[in-house]
Chains A and B, each alone.
Chain A
Amino acid sequence: MEALLFTQGLNVIYEALILAILVLGLAVVMGLLNVLNIAHGEFIMIGAYAAYVVQRAGLPYLLAIPAAALVCGAIGLVVERCLIRPLHYEPFETLLATWGLGLLLRKCVELAFGRGYRSVEIPIRGSLSLFGESYPAYRLALMAVAALVLASLFIWYRRAPTGARIRAMVGNPVLAEAVGIRTRELARNTFITGTAFAGVAGVMVAPLTPVEPFMGLTFIVNSFFALVVGGMGTVAGLFAGATIIGGLQSVLSAAVSPTSAYIAMLLISILFLWQRPRGLFPRP
């Protein structure tokens, strides 16, 4: 029984961390630029396909990370230039446009790879023993990487000048421009960073899920809810949202049933959208 509780505890942490990594790209773009990138899931999907291609080519799996970041970043660059900027970063217009973009990206991938499932082999096999209980090594590695990435991002955003510039741009774009911050480039780079993060998240989850053109749809739902609950534009919000949505789903799913866990998550998200649309830790 204790062994089960221990494993389930790890599962809860795992789900929260994985969700945080999946949300990250969306959080950057939505929290900082007010653009809800509905095609976020498709960028994750493209990242997963990048992992598939790299693995099929017999290259080391780690190479998939720069590959996915590059591909998704490049697509992000084109999208920012041709879609987001012409729409002046308007929330509603870009929401519709990225929805269409999602359809397009799915169809393109379907054209290139077909509709069927692909499977990406787990790069780190076997399991590690923790306090006498074994847990899959790849998942443990993922948790470590996710924690590391999130922590360093938190520190970077607080300390680095770019973080300060982004905060200035978001707070008052006109003033930021006046003091010499090139907001246009900054916004573009922020958007590209968001899509590249999504691609890397895709590489990380690819060995765990079926890789197929529609896989992005399953990621966007939870990611969006995590943002709604946590609040946009803050690292604390990202952590809180991922922990509440991911953790709660994991706990309820283990303790009650997966279906009620899903219903609970939907109810909480609706409650937040209705009563506290800015989430727990919104940008001040």
Chain B
Amino acid sequence: MPTSIKMTRRDLVRAAGAAALAIGAPAIIRPALAADALKIGVLVADSGPAALFGPAQRAAAELGAATINAKGGILGRQVEIIFADAGASPAEVAKSAVKLMLSDKVEMIFGSHDSAVRQGVENVVKGKIPYIYTPVFEGDDCSSNVYFLGEVPEQELQKTLPKMVELAKGKTFYLVGNDYVWARTTNDKAKKYIADLGGTVVAEDYYPLGAPNKFENTVAKIKSAKPAIVLQTLVGGDNVNFNRTFADFNLSDDILRLSCLLEENTLIGIGKDASKNLYSSLGYFADLDLPENKAFIGELTKKYGDKAPQQCTISKGLYDAFVFAAAVTTKSKSLAAKDFAAAADGVQFETPSGSMTMMHRHTAKNIFLARCEGTKFTVIDTFAAVPTQQSCT
């Protein structure tokens, strides 16, 4: 090989090609490895009225993914979260969902947001991939391949209302809520339970959502009507505002209040002076004295320290979504709509608030009735595995 030192033009090209391959290889190999990860789109409130929950939602979802990954992931693949903002209009969030599916290639979507956004997302996902909706909501949705982990009104009310009647020693109710589907549906369902109890609804008031509401008028009416219980379906700032006005008009000594969406942040806003005789019925409180919950909160404290965002039922549901998806896929061995649906029905999974069972795509779970003591919740009654009364097939 006399001319071996000399590099021909062809050799040069070949060498350059090899070098390019060597340098470029990671870029080619990386996507191949990454395709192995199972991507999940998670819709959280980064903006909008619910943005208060955003950081806690992200923290719960990340812990959910980490917990599942430590146990081997889903279908033997590590899961990877891609967050998207659910605080925009339904049409905008639907666009984000399309992007998640088409360009990010997510294989599941988890979401914690309002029902209008959910319907927007359902319209674009069209049951192609499993969509797990986690917060408290009004029920009565059977869209295909959608799974509901949140509390429905039947769960919040069926066991809780009789208990409230017993505590209040009276059966007259005044209903006050925001003027939208969740509040109205919850109250319609409440009226049936109240009738079953032999109680009466003296009046109901609905306040526009997102408007600068004042509650003096309703409070004056409540003062005059003297109901035993005020059932509230107000959300966020209106919930705070109403309860502060109610207490300021000196009604909290004589009239009990039950809120259907009163979580830790809202209670801090209401404050200790306005929370006497105020009750909340939900599937989770951050102070629950359960070993599962202690572990959940403990992990978050370990990760974020004092800066751990305040958990509540709205955020914690996203953790449950990971546990649920892992439990279903262990049975189904696939994410295909049919297999997933078949495996989901009847699947039982362990969450920070105790064991849950998916039935007819809604979740039977523990419901806690808590009394506000200052700005903390004290659970006074636990109703185990409360059924949803939903009948999706």
Task: List A residues at the B interface (Cβ < 8 Å).
Answer: 1, 3-4, 7-8, 11, 14-15, 115-122, 125-127, 134-136, 138-139, 207-212, 214-215, 218-219, 221-222, 249-250, 253-254, 257-259, 262
Contacts and interface: CB of A to CB of B under 8 A. Distances in A.
Contact of B310 (A14, A15, A116, A249): A116
A272 B216 CA distance: 27
B248 A139 contact: yes
A221 B207 CA distance: 16
Nearest to B49: A214
B217 A119 contact: no
B240 A209 contact: yes
A219 B211 CA distance: 10
Given A258-B179, A258-B213, A115 B52 contact: yes
B217 A8 contact: yes
Interface of B: 49, 51-52, 54-55, 179, 205-208, 211-214, 216-218, 220-221, 223-224, 236-237, 240-241, 244-245, 248-250, 265-266, 268-271, 273-274, 310
B237 A212 contact: yes
Given A136-B249, A139-B248, A219-B212, A8 B265 contact: no
B206 A259 contact: yes
Contacts of B273: 121-122, 125
Contacts, number: 112
A219 B213 CA distance: 10
Contact of B208 (A118, A119, A120, A258): A258
B208 A116 contact: no
A209 B270 contact: no
Q: Which 5 A-B pairs have the closest CB atoms?
A: A117-B269, A119-B271, A210-B240, A218-B212, A254-B217
A4 B249 CA distance: 13
A121 B216 contact: no
Contacts of B205: 257-258
Contacts of A257: 205-206
Nearest to B223: A7
A218 B217 CA distance: 18
Contacts of B179: 258-259
A139 B273 CA distance: 16
Nearest to B210: A218
Given A250-B217, A254-B217, A208 B208 contact: no
A38 to B, nearest CB: 15
Of listed A1, A7, A118, A207, residue having the most chain B CB within 10 A: A7
Of listed B55, B208, B216, B245, residue having the most chain A CB within 10 A: B216
Nearest to A119: B271
A262 B214 CA distance: 11
Nearest to A136: B248
Given A117-B240, A208-B244, A210-B240, 5 more contacts: A8-B217, A15-B214, A119-B268, A120-B271, A210-B269
Contacts of A1: 224
A127 B216 CA distance: 14
Nearest to A220: B212
Given A11-B217, A116-B268, A258-B179, A3 B224 contact: yes
Nearest to A8: B220
A14 B215 CA distance: 12
Contacts of B55: 115
Given A136-B248, A208-B244, A222 B212 contact: yes
A117 B268 contact: yes
A134 B250 contact: yes
A186 to B, nearest CB: 33
Nearest to B225: A4
Given A136-B249, A257-B205, A7 B220 contact: yes
Contacts of A120: 271
Of listed B211, B265, B268, residue having the most chain A CB within 10 A: B211
Given A115-B51, A221-B212, A262-B211, A212 B221 contact: no
Contact of B266 (A115, A117, A125): A117
A222 B213 CA distance: 10
A226 to B, nearest CB: 11
B241 A209 contact: yes
A218 B220 contact: no
A218 B237 contact: yes
A121 B208 contact: no
Contact of B207 (A138, A219, A259): A259
B248 A250 contact: no
Contacts of A208: 241, 244-245, 248
A135 B237 CA distance: 23
Contact of B206 (A4, A15, A210, A258): A258
Contacts of A126: 250
B237 A209 contact: yes
A252 to B, nearest CB: 9
A219 B241 CA distance: 14
